[in-house]
Structure 1
Amino acid sequence: MRRRTFTASLGAAAVAATAVPGAAAAATSRRCDDAYTWRNAVVNGGGYVPGIVFNETEPDLIYARTDIGGLYRWQEGTQSWLPLLDWIGWDQWGWTGVVSVATDPVETNRVYAAVGTYTNDWDPSPGAVLYSDDKGATWGVAELPFKQGGNMPGRGMGERLAVDPADNANLYLGTPNGNGLWKSADFGRTWAKVESFPNAGNFVQDPGSDYSDDNQGVVWIDFDLAGGRTFVGVADPDDPLYVSSDGGATWQAVPGAAAALGTADGNRTIPKQAAFDHENGHLFIVTGWDPGPYNGAPASGRGGSVQRLTLATGEWTDVTPGHNPIGAIPGFGGLTVDRKRPGTLMAATQNNWWPDEIIYRSTDSGQTWETSWDYVWDANWSWPPARTDRFTMDASGSEWLSFGHTDDGPAYAVKHGWMIDALAIDPHDSDRIMWGTGATIWGTERLTEWDGQGPLVGWDAEAGHQVTLPVEPFTVAVRAEGLEETAVQDIAALGGTLVSAMGDLGGFVQTDLGRAGTQIRRPNWTSGRGVDFAGLHPDVVVGTGDVEGDADGHVGVSTDGGATWLTTARLEGVAGGGNAGSVAVNADGSVVVWSPGNGTTAPVYSTDLGQTWTPVEGLPAGALVRSDRSDPNRLYALASGVFYASVDGGTTFAATPATGLPAEGNVDFRAVPGKRRHLWLTGGKTDGVYGMWRSTDGGRSWRRIRDFEEADAVGFGKGRGRRGYPAIFTSAKAGGKRGIWRSTDEGLSWQRVNDDAHQWAWTGKAISGDPEVYGRVYIATNGRGLVYGDIAE
């Protein structure tokens, strides 16, 4: 008998005892035999970027934070972003939600991140402040006694974390849920509550929700450089702004702040973001009636304002832009000032859903504003109205940003964005701006061309109505290269083609991993949930996803390897939303079996590519369905720890005699390519049955793989040698160590192929090898995109 062995990876580098290694986008992990190089299958963005922060003193030092996908640093030479938190492991997955980032203006190598994804029980771990002395190459961790909400409402406010420029050893942190204001006096190593700060906030968006019921708390900190004062914004409409003139020893409410910041057209509002114009002595603040980033205008009209505080006199001035082509301004998200051009500031709406967000620009401290676009109706109110734009949107490399739409009058397919909280003019270059959206980062290096364009709308005296005026637009383009924030739900590696299902984006078909490829738009999935292919005819691909409306079914079918897709029939009683469930296609592509995810509809099968459905016999609602890769007659299912098999092409299923399988938790199983009736199963719960099992008889009996105390995904790739068993990959825990493991000898021995610098937090959804490239592994992450590794040459 061959002995089972494990080989763990060696560390990527020796680091200080209090530090953990950072990660590079294509760094190499070292093991005792193979070295792996890690990259992303490129999408470019794909998630919400709520914060972009430029260092005030070092040019080109820029950080972007994401709500679930970690922190990035800009690389000027390659015009791309470098991930900095790939070292975060399974148990601390919540630290990939970055609620705030602070870059030190004095010692620019220092950077800090306030992390924690959820403040409710979805995230079991407390929040932390991460600190780095080398721009994120290595990190230390200061855990906090409370949670933080990198993916909670209000995550675009702030920044909640700030370095005091007068003494950069001092940092402040604003926190939610009554935890108040905190301070570190030792470069973020230790933290203590500022007991003298009088107000922990009281604004709760929705007290009846377990997601929107946070007290938003202390939402930003900023510094008056000329006056040596510290200002703090608080989510309390009756007392929203405080100031300290003695280094935080004492605090006073700012006079007039409640009247200026606490109401907008009768709505109770909070100070969402702030920016200082130090030269002119102004503090600008945008307010909103909710913390964002989802809601539009309240029913009562305007949802926020732009306020200007003159620091020398204490005078408040409402400088809210007065024009929105479609009516009342719903509220504001991002705010930024131009450090090189005092008096210049910009603000973004949130959420001006139709036809587009508006970015406003003022060059006179908010007295007058210009819009990024405008439109007017002709005298006959003809459709479409004439729209004119200050810039054009270049989505090259991210063509999917149209989301399958075409221009519809003033509603362009490629928009300025939505949920624009991150809005930042480069403090060293007035021509550069970046802004984050719910899907990408946009930017330009030609911003000041705006100021020479003149107005967008004029008056035709002869015709007696408004007209749009011609402008010479500059170009705004995608600036998200290297930043990968998709939440991958499933993977199908076909050999030369990679098909993925993704949250929020539907899915992608890629024949070149260096480009985003084609987004799956028909059916119109809001989120893709699963993909499968016919083992003997891999050009037949099926997928399932959440859908909206009544036009598309949940299941999509392709007969040309994902190049084109057909939608399928809807089922009565199965609505859109989260009812995607699981789908399988048998080995020769002649039968599709779909198990809806509503928990009440029994699985169905189709022999005409989903145009009609027939109920399956013998399976409960919600069963997970998979197909044998070699035998067209065999399909399998799992529900509540009971394993089922079909020997008639999915028409009927019967329970097998198997016992001891996990009945709860994240459970999955996959069939082995080229090996009839060979199955591997993973999943379970830490307080119950959890691990990996193998069957070679179509699921009738299973053998526990004792090497793993936990396992959450399993997949297969090209084997070693011409006739070898496929390589097996798993995201699992062995000997107390979480990692990505590979076996090339049918599970007799396992080796960890990643290292501690490359962990990508939670990787339990899906994993796959490549059928044509030996050693390649594809890993589904929850916010760091689709990572793949190759054996380094």
Structure 2
Amino acid sequence: MRRRTFTAALGAAALAAGAPASAAFAASGPRCEDVYTWKNATVNGGGFVPGIVFNETEPGLVYARTDIGGAYRWQEDTRTWTPLLDWVGRDKWGWSGVVSIASDPVEPDRVYAAVGTYTIDWDPNNGAVLYSDDRGETWGAAELPFKQGGNMPGRGMGERLAVNPADNAQVYLGTPSGNGLWRSVDFGRTWAKVESFPSAGNFVVDPANAYQADNQGVIWIDFDQIGGKIYVGVADPDDPLYVSEDGGATWQAVPGAAEVLGEVDGNRTIPKQSAVDDANGYLYVITSWDPGPYNGGPASGRGGRIMRLATQTGEWTDVTPAYNPRGVIPGFGGITVDRQNPGTLMASTCNNWWPDEILFRSTDSGATWSVSWDYAEGQERHDRFDMDASASPWLAWNGEDQGPAYAVKHGWMIEAFAIDPHDSDRIMWGTGATVWGTEELTKWDAQGELIGEDEAGGRVALPVEKFTVGVRAQGIEETAVLDLAALGGTLVSAVGDVGGFVHTDLGRAEPMIDTNWSTGTSVDFAQSDPDIVVGTGNVHGDEQGHVGVSTDRGRTWRNAARLDGVPGDGHGGTVAVSADGSRIYWSPSDTEVTPVYSTDLGETWTPVEGLPAGAKIRSDRVRASHLYAFSGGVFYRSTDGGATFADTGATGLPTAAVEDFRAVPGHKGHVWLAGRGDETEGVGGGMWRSKDGGATWKRVAVFATAESVGFGKAARRSGYPAIYTSAVIDGKAAIYRSTDGGARWFRINDDDHQWAWSGSAITGDPQVYGRVYLTTNGRGIVYGDIAD
């Protein structure tokens, strides 16, 4: 997907901003003689999908948005998703966080995306509205004078972008941070604040927490096509809903909205989402005490409502389900109506953590509801459908069913929730990990009740013919990857939130590494014995060790012993293994504990001597006795198997911002180091190399800064391994390769393939020349091959 090089000024026509992408590519650095193709190692999901949007007029046109990993378009013929924002580069990395998607119901080729990852200073750039006239194949960008929060609290609310079906040149945007309601009247090219709109919202989650202290603002826009009214939901419990009856010129608070949308049992609530039933003249609004996605369930007895507004009469009706198996009516996450069957609607809970989320369904405009699962006697659970996780076997989280708490769940954080407007049998919903869906939804109605009464008045399950819900995330790759190890025929990864994976087939999703990591942080393997693989990650609780060990090339794993002084809940740090696999080295993060080593595959640990806490250790890839470490500008070396380390005396290295260093396979004492540099110390960024075990270093001056370094199969049989890096040359952050020991470097990716922030860890393949694997922050494991 390519980005049009246009920028839209507020209140002015879009102007050309520069040369075409191809010219920019040619000018950004030396071009590689090889053309690369890029793919993902298949995980299928792995992150939060807060929005799914069906086009209302064209069947099969569907978009999904992620919080940090861009946007996707559904391919009906292959039942897969195509990424649309891989062109986003490091200079605008925040644009990979998608706050909202709007698909034009009048001209379906048009699509809009509101982007920007953080409203706080974590993201240095302001947000934008991206616009496309060809379904996301190419994009223009209208930059905004404020930030947006694709990865902030409340990101599953909305949609904050909406196209007016009565005038599709008119697009609305609800904004956070007190910026109010914005509008474009030229298909998203330029934007201006709707000055007549009276509220910017005032609801914050936690004013004492910077990440949660932002005003949630204007949440969603919806259109009543019977009366031509425009409704806007606002995060203000005292005035949560406004309406315009004159095309957006003037706005009024909807009578009675504060009483029914802004409070439940004394708790302040906000209107999270809406859905319109134009056939019956109803606007449905769901509320919760928290904007989500982490909270919103029945904590402390707090909950939410489903309210129905008759748009022609102004009458409010509480249609909140009277029952759910948990007992407390929770806050809600998503709501959707069946446009083929007026009066049919569904809603989801949000973070009804145990034993599972609940999906509600009504066929009588909310008068009565049925549930996706229920209890018979005690906690004997019965379900309307089976969950098929075979496309993503890791969704079992290496667990087993525990009574009503199944290993494979409906999900959590369910806020993306949509019935296909063209097909009553199709529904998709997003979770914190995947997209679920079925094409058999109306079988729900034929099942009747799940639970009945026996002669004694007890609850008993009734026989139902279950249908199947399966993974619909194929093509969505949104893991945040922290480290990679390429063994040759096997790729091991450390991954945020889902631990990590061992891929022996890059096109097949695998189970999670069975170590109970909440986040994998580091992996390594023994160069001369690749059957020995080690990894480390953050863990919850104090019952097991952080380090995982495999002696069969990653097929099975066991956790190493815990280490005194290192608590659970984090602290994964980095791990290394000697070239022959005889010793493991672990440096816990964020503790005062110095690195340790083990001579018995993690059964016991011994502190190393000579290293400070937090020092990162790497092994020489030839000599098992030699190890290297770096911390605070000091490079250390061990020649006794890591028992003791000493400062090599090297000077001229950055004090702090060293991102990575790695030893070279097949070359004793060869070490490469990548860093951002430290101008306050008078040390520039870039790449350094040593051929004597870190005693002396030479800076590779072509790089302004470098983030990672890795090695792969050499171009020639006796040549130096291919070197790969994510680095900056002449102001261009890109993926570069050298095949001659670092004398010359060539860019191997292009402007269509940048993946926002990519390559913080990188490695070549030891068996396939030219193949490179790189990490991304939300676009999964990316790998490139030289095109045939």
Q: TM-score range by the shorter chain?
A: over 0.9
Matches within 5 A, 1:547-562: 547-562=539-554
Query: Which residue matches 1:185?
Result: 185
Distance 1:95 1:527 in 2: 24
Q: Cα–Cα, structure 1 residues 491 and 193, in superposed 2: closer, same or farther, change >3 Å?
A: same
Instruction: Give secondary structure in 1 for the equivalent of 2:67.
Output: coil
Alignment-derived partner of residue 615 in structure 2: 623
- In 2, the alpha carbon distance for the partners of 1:498 and 1:370 equals 45
Aligned to 1:536: 528
- Whether the 8 Å CA contact 2:297–2:349 is kept in 1: the answer is no
Shift of 1:375: 1.0
Cα distance in 1 for residues equivalent to 2:345 and 2:669: 65
- Cα distance 1:294–1:310, how it changes in 2: closer, same or farther (>3 A)? same
C-alpha distance in 1 between matches for 2:487 and 2:467 = 41
Specify the alignment match of 2:141 in structure 1.
Answer: 141
SS of residue in 1 equivalent to 2:769: coil
Within 1, Cα distance between the matches of 2:4 and 2:218? 38
Alignment length (residue pairs): 768
Q: Distance in 2 between matches of 1:299 and 1:106?
A: 42
Counterpart of 1:7 in structure 2 is none
SS in 1 for 2:531: coil
Deviations 1:116-139 (A, max 9, x none): 001111111110100111000000
SS in structure 2 at match of 1:667: strand
Who is 2:466 aligned against? 473
Say which of 406, 420, 429 aligns to 1:426.
Answer: 420
Q: Distance in 2 between matches of 1:136 and 1:454?
A: 42
Q: Deviations over 1:302-342 (max 9, x none)?
A: 41110000112111111001111121022100100000000
Q: Which amino acid aligns with 2:728?
A: K
- 1:668 is aligned, of 660, 663, 670, to 660
The AA in structure 2 aligned to 1:543 is: G
What's the secondary structure of 1:195's corresponding residue?
coil
The alpha-carbon deviation at position 521 of structure 1 amounts to: 1.8
**3-state DSSP of counterpart to 1:260:** helix
Distance 2:521 2:241 in 1: 44
1:203: Cα distance to partner?
0.3
Asked if the contact 2:3/2:139 (under 8 Å) is kept, the reply is no
Partner SS for 1:749: coil
Normalised by the length of structure 2, the TM-score is: 0.96
Give the distance between the partners of 1:311 and 1:735, measured in 2 at CA.
Answer: 58
- CA contact 1:663–1:684 (8 Å) conserved in 2: no
Q: Which AA in structure 2 matches 1:545? A: G
The whole-number CA distance in structure 2 between the counterparts of 1:204 and 1:302 is: 17
Q: How does 1:240-389 map to 2 (within 5 A)?
A: 240-297=240-297, 299-377=299-377, 381=378, 385-389=379-383
Q: Does 1:492 align with 2:485?
A: yes
Q: How far apart, in 2, do the equivalents of 1:407 and 1:682 lie?
A: 45
Q: Secondary structure at the match of 1:91?
A: helix
Query: 1:622 & 1:756 partners in 2: Cα distance?
Result: 36
Question: Which residue of the partner structure matches residue 409 of structure 1?
Answer: 403
Deviation at 1:468, TM superposition (A): 1.2
Tell me how far 1:511 sits from its aligned partner: 0.3
Matched, 1:452 2:424: no
* Aligned partner of residue 210 in structure 2, secondary structure: coil
Confirm or deny that 1:577 pairs with 2:577: no
* Structure 1 residues 244 and 137, CA gap change in structure 2 (3 angstroms): same
Q: Which residue of 1 aligns with 2:11?
A: none
Is the contact made by 1:692 and 1:711 (CA closer than 8 Å) also made in structure 2? yes
Distance 1:12 1:171 in 2: 23
Alpha-carbon spacing, 1:426–1:18, altered in 2? closer, same or farther (3 Å) = farther
1:118-133 equivalences under 5 Å are 118-133=118-133
User: What pairs up with 1:94-109 in 2 under 5 angstroms?
Assistant: 94-109=94-109
The separation in 2 between residues aligned to 1:614 and 1:642, in whole angstroms, is 22
Cα distance in 2 for residues equivalent to 1:723 and 1:300: 67
Q: Which residue of the partner structure matches residue 642 of structure 2?
A: 650
Cα contact 2:765–2:771 (8 A) shared by 1: yes
Separation of aligned partners in 2, 1:296 and 1:553: 32
Find the residue that maps to 2:382 and give its secondary structure: strand
Q: Distance in 1 between matches of 2:679 and 2:73?
A: 39
Question: C-alpha root-mean-square deviation of aligned residues, in Å?
Answer: 1.6
Work out whether residues 659 and 707 of structure 2, in 8 Å CA contact, stay in contact via their aligned partners in 1: yes
> Does the 8 Å CA contact 1:176/1:214 hold for their aligned counterparts?
yes
Cα distance, 1:14–1:527 mapped onto 2, change above 3 Å: closer
Instruction: Report what 2:587 is aligned to.
Output: 595
Counterpart of 1:443, as a letter, is: G
* 3-state SS of 1:539 partner: strand
1:569: how far off? 1.0
Secondary structure of the residue aligned to 2:195 is: coil
- For structure 2, the 5+ residue unaligned runs are 7-15, 23-29
TM-score normalised according to structure 1 size: 0.95
Task: Report what 1:26 is aligned to.
Answer: none
Partner of 1:171: 171
Choose the corresponding residue for 1:505, options 498, 507, 510.
498
Instruction: Indicate if the aligned counterparts of 2:53 and 2:64 stay in contact, CA closer than 8 A.
Output: yes
Match in the other structure for 1:392: 386
Contact between 2:4 and 2:138, CA under 8 Å: does it hold in 1?
A: no
Q: Measure, in 2, the Cα distance between the counterparts of 1:415 and 1:599.
A: 35
Where structure 1 has 5 or more consecutive residues not aligned to the other structure, the ranges are 1-10, 23-29
Moved more, 40-49 or 547-556: 547-556
- Contact kept? 1:21, 1:138, Cα under 8 Å: no
> Aligned partner of 1:471: which letter?
V
Tell me if 1:692 matches 2:687. yes
How far apart are 1:299 and its partner, in Å? 4.8
Q: Which residue of 2 aligns with 1:738?
A: 733
The CA deviation string for residues 236-293 of structure 1, in whole angstroms up to 9 with x for no partner, is 0000000011111110000000001011122100000000000000000000001101
Cα contact 2:494–2:523 (8 A) shared by 1: yes
Paired position in structure 2 for 1:110:
110
1:192-207 matches, within 5 Å, as: 192-207=192-207
CA distance in 2, matches of 1:147, 1:666: 29
For the pair 1:777 / 2:772, whether they are aligned, the reply is yes
Q: 1:684, CA displacement in angstroms?
A: 2.1
- 2:656–2:678 Cα contact (<8 Å) kept: no
Mapped pair 1:87 → 2:98: no
Q: Which amino acid aligns with 2:488?
A: G
Judge which range, 550-559 or 661-670, deviates more: 661-670
Name the counterpart of 1:613: 605
Structure 1 runs of 4+ off > 3 angstroms?
11-22, 296-300, 685-689
State the AA in 2 paired with 1:490: D
- Contact 1:388 / 1:469 at 8 angstroms: preserved in 2? no
CA distance in 2, matches of 1:545, 1:90: 26
2:288·2:296 contact (CA, 8 Å) conserved in 1?
A: no
> Do the aligned residues in 1 keep the contact of 2:234 with 2:270 (CA within 8 Å)?
yes
Distance in 1, Cα, partners of 2:259 & 2:45:
39
Give deviations 1:523-569, integer Å, cap 9, x for gaps: x1000000011111111111010001223201011111111111111
Asked whether the 8 Å contact 2:398–2:511 carries over to 1, the reply is no
Q: Which residue of 2 aligns with 1:716?
A: 711
The 2-side partners of 1:674 and 1:209 are apart by 50
- Whether the aligned pair in 2 keeps the contact of 1:720 and 1:774 (CA below 8 Å) is yes
Q: Distance in 2 between matches of 1:221 and 1:750?
A: 50
Aligned twin of 1:45: 45
Alpha-carbon offset, residue 470 of structure 1: 1.3
- For residues 296 and 166 of structure 2, the distance between their equivalents in structure 1, rounded to whole angstroms, comes to 39
CA distance in 2, matches of 1:201, 1:135: 32
The equivalent residue for 2:651 is 659
Instruction: Please give the per-residue CA displacement for 1:35-82, whole angstroms capped at 9, x wherever unaligned.
Output: 111100000000000000000001100000000000000000110000
1:427 to 1:187, Cα distance in 2 relative to 1, 3 A: same
Contact 1:329 1:352 in 2 (8 A): no
Find the residue that maps to 1:450 and give its secondary structure: helix
Distance 1:410 1:14 in 2: 51
